Amino acid sequence: MRDELIYNQYANWKLEHSDLIKYLREKDSDLILRFKHIFEVTDYLYDQLIDDPNYSEEQDQIFQTGFYYLFDQIEKITELLKEVYQNDIKALKNISKDVNLLLSTIDFENELLSAENYDVNHMNKLLDFETDVMDKLKHQQSIPNEMYVKLDEMTYKMFQEMNVDFYPIQEIFFEIADELGII
């Protein structure tokens, strides 16, 4: 039995964050590119719920995964905007690359948490890195290119050691969007 309350929550959440989402889309922000296919699939499935009497459990799970991911990531962005930039969404224009680094770090942390027998030291390194990125963002400091390289090297090594393939949610939703014929 599907709980349709989450679909109402999604509609309300999108309405609540419509200014931010609209701004990111209008400015073709790097951040919206991160969410593009997730929004497409989630919106498509939201509409399907209404139109399709055979809406499946799998579709519901995909919808929920997309919504929860968008919720968490947009929440992190709005938290940063509120704490550092007095809710000035235009500030995102200059820091979108750095915010993407923060969000990617969180993605890696979540992937690590979902892996069997993950190494706590790996998680601590990622958490320390996230703290460094967040501190720079909070102090409105630019993030040096070395930090981007560091995250790439660190996560590559971690997942190699664990013998785990990292498959970003953006790629998963790109494939789902392609299967649904919406891209």
Intervals of the chain under pLDDT 50: 1
Residue 140 per-residue DSSP state: T
pLDDT at 2: 59
Q: Which of 110, 67, 90 is nearest to 19 (CA)?
A: 90
pLDDT for 107 equals 95
Instruction: Report pLDDT for 172.
Output: 95
- pLDDT at residue number 119: 86
Please state, in angstroms and rounded to a whole number, the distance separating the CA atoms of residues 152 and 146: 10
Residue 171 confidence (pLDDT): 94
Q: pLDDT tens for residues 32-52?
A: 889 999 999 999 999 988 777
CB-based contact 129:105 (threshold 8 Å) = yes
Identify residue 181 by its one-letter amino acid code.
Answer: G
Domain count, the chain: 1
Boundaries of domain holding 41? 5-180
pLDDT tens-digit map of 61-80: 999 999 999 999 999 999 99
Confidence (pLDDT) at 30: 86
Measured CA to CA in angstroms, residue 85 lies from 81, 94, 180 at distances of 5, 12, 38
Q: What interhelical angle do 120-138 and 145-162 show, nearest 10?
A: 160
Residue 37, number of CB atoms within 10 A of its CB: 22
